[in-house]
């Protein structure tokens, strides 16, 4: 999908087009695979927290407080790929 | 869609748009291939690739960004394949990880230069990733910057290869 297509969708409030693009991006052109990848990332984010291990809250707070919105959104995409890679179920043809 | 360039495979955009609706890119300006100024055996060659190959230790291409990475890397043409790595999600890299020449034929070009089949290699080759959703930005920034760098390197032949 072109950037214009996505910006038009934002202007029109057409979130279905936007989330479809995210699924296609994360699923390498396969929307259903992208949907599963999103679920997989959330499961991988949940698992290490179940035993409530110590985490670096100060780092998280400082990062969220000091970094700009675009950088944090970018980080969100990076964290998605980090988490699905940790899951061991790597669907992509290439490498990060 | 009306085919506007003889350089595109017929029906290519229709295929792309089946998979990525809205990704139609129209190009009305037909750019003819440039003629060689002198024989290949006397010309310096640059290689430009969208394969995401880069020297080890350089910042990996940004494959996570949803709109793409509009930066390129210089790959010294004297590099050994073992000095290079690939950061790209969107094509199978298994074969290229076994032999970089599959996707960036650096040793083959070095051989052709040594044998005098081509006049020589420019100091650098150029690499970027092809997953970019903003073709206008790509043309305005990445393509322009690579073209300038290629020209500054004294290039006489530029070989472009998509991944």
In whole angstroms, give the CA distance from residue B6 to residue A82. Answer: 42
pLDDT at residue B4 greater than cutoff 50: no
B157 belongs to a structural domain: yes
User: pLDDT tens, B5-50?
Assistant: 444 566 666 666 655 655 556 667 777 777 888 999 999 999 999 9
Nearest chain A CA: its distance from B26 CA (Å): 11
B5 vs B98, higher pLDDT: B98
> Phi/psi class of residue B152: alpha, beta or left (left: φ > 0; alpha: ψ in -120 to 50)?
alpha
d(CA B126, CA B46): 8
Q: Residue A35 to residues A21, A83, B8, B103, B143: CA-CA distances in angstroms? A: 11, 15, 33, 31, 33
Give the residue from B76, B63, B57, B62 showing the smallest Cα distance to B126: B76
pLDDT at site B131: 81
Average pLDDT over residues A69-77: 98
List, for residues A22-70, the tens digit of each pLDDT value.
998 898 888 899 999 999 999 999 999 999 999 999 999 999 999 999 9
Residue B156 inside a domain? The answer is yes
Each domain of chain A, given as residue ranges in start order, spans 3-87
Residues A74, B52: C-beta atoms closer than 8 Å:
no
B70 falls within a domain: yes
Q: Which residues of A touch B13 (CB under 8 A)?
A: none
Question: For residue B16, what pLDDT is reported?
Answer: 64
The number of distinct structural domains making up chain B is 1
Give the separation between CA A29 and CA A25, rounded to whole angstroms.
6
Structural domain containing residue B81: 40-161
ipTM above 0.85, yes or no: yes
Q: Is residue B151 part of a domain?
A: yes
């Amino acid at each position: 999908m072109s950037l214009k297509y996505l910006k038009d969708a934002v202007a029109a409030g057409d979130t279905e087009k936007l989330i479809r693009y995210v699924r296609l991006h994360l699923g390498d052109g396969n929307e259903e695979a992208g949907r599963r990848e999103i679920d997989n990332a959330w499961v991988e984010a949940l698992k290490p927290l179940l035993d409530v291990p110590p985490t670096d809250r100060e780092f998280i707070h400082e990062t969220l407080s000091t970094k700009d919105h675009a950088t944090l959104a970018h980080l969100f995409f990076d964290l998605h790929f980090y988490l699905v890679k940790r899951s061991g179920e790597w669907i992509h043809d290439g490498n990060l | 869609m009306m085919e506007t360039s003889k350089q595109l495979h017929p029906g290519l955009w229709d295929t792309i748009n089946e998979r990525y609706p809205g990704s139609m890119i129209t190009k009305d300006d037909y750019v003819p291939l440039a003629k060689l100024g002198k024989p290949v055996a006397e010309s310096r060659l640059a290689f430009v690739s969208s394969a995401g190959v880069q020297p080890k230790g350089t910042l990996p291409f940004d494959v996570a960004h949803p709109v793409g990475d509009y930066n390129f890397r210089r790959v010294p043409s004297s590099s050994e394949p073992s000095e290079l790595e690939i950061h790209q999600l969107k094509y199978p890299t298994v074969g290229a990880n076994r032999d970089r020449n599959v996707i960036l034929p650096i040793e083959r070009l070095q051989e052709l230069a040594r044998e005098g089949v081509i006049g020589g290699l420019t100091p650098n080759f150029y690499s970027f990733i092809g997953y970019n959703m903003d073709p206008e930005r790509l043309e305005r920034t990445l393509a322009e910057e690579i073209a300038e760098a290629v020209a500054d390197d004294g290039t006489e032949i530029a070989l472009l290869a998509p991944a």
